[in-house]
Chains A and B, each alone.
Chain A
Amino acid sequence: MSQTPARSHPALGLDDVVHQRVRLALLSVLVETGQAEFTYLRQLLELSDGNLGKHLNALSQAGYVELRKQPAAQGRARTWARVTRKGRRAFRDELTALEELIANHRRTEQHHDG
């Protein structure tokens, strides 16, 4: 008799690149606005230059974000971050996995109560 395969734990659906507080916050902003400038992101999320740069680079290397330098007439060039289609999908999948984790807990709780 065949057995029903065990339901995989929702934690297995979490993406290591996205499953991080700052990166998830960055993707939340970018999914909502499409693109944002480095300074805006730094101020909104209260991060240091180095910390923000590190996380943006990680997302960029995974193909979730595109970074573009906009030459400035005077002063420093502005860096814009834009979420890619792959990034939107990763963000959506991460939220689904997180919600599934919580739903999993609720199911367990109901099972214990019942």
Chain B
Amino acid sequence: MAERTAAEWRAAELLTEVRRTREMARAVARSWWFPMVVFGGIALAAAAIDASGSGLAIALWWPLAAAAGFAAVWRYYRMRSRRLGVGVSRYWQPGLWVVAMPAAVAGGEAAPAWLAPAIPYAAVAGCFLLLAWRCRSWELLVAAAALLTASALAVASTEPGVLADAGCGLVLVCAGLWSRARVILP
């Protein structure tokens, strides 16, 4: 059997250490729980508005709430970055949500009637999948799978608007709180 040279041993050690350090840094940078809870809350409120049957209110709700949600998330990341002394990817995470939410609403409007209820779930699930890949997170992957399952169930539902918003909101809030419990702070 070939003996490892000193350089090869050192390479293996360094790679192990790099992996460990990256995992530590990633654990601290995990802070997507806040946007999940904020936008989950927005979706739950949308379900209540949908149930009241006011078309104008729901049309106004999404753009206003999404803008307010984005501002809250931006402020949260800014404060967190200052407090911890570490960059926490302030821009791309809320950016994803801002893209996903209007895409969910617009897609829901444009899609065929039978498919429309699945679009909000699918848009947010896509967002989760991207985050899961970027953050190497099993939690987000599980949340994305739950949302895709909900998406399939929504297609079969008779009260699509309310169920889609409520289901999406609940999954986001629960996933956010679960993620919050796992955040490691230095």
Contacts and interface: CB of A to CB of B under 8 A. Distances in A.
A57 to B, nearest CB: 19
Interface string B1-43: 1101101100110110110011011101100000000000000
**Interface secondary structure of B, over-half rule:** helix
Q: Which of A38, A98, A99, A108 has the most CB of B within 10 A?
A: A98
Contacts of A113: 1
A101 B7 contact: yes
Interface in A27-48: 28-29, 31-40, 43-45
B85 A36 contact: yes
B135 to A, nearest CB: 10
A104 B186 CA distance: 38
A107 B68 CA distance: 57
B63 interface: no
Interface residues of B, number: 26
A78 B1 contact: no
A38 B8 CA distance: 32
Nearest to A18: B14
Nearest to B9: A105
Interface of B: 1-2, 4-5, 7-8, 11-12, 14-15, 17-18, 21-22, 24-26, 28-29, 84-89, 186
18 contacts: A19-B14, A24-B14, A28-B18, A32-B25, A33-B28, A33-B29, A35-B87, A36-B85, A40-B186, A44-B28, A78-B85, A82-B87, A98-B11, A99-B11, A101-B7, A102-B8, A102-B15, A109-B2
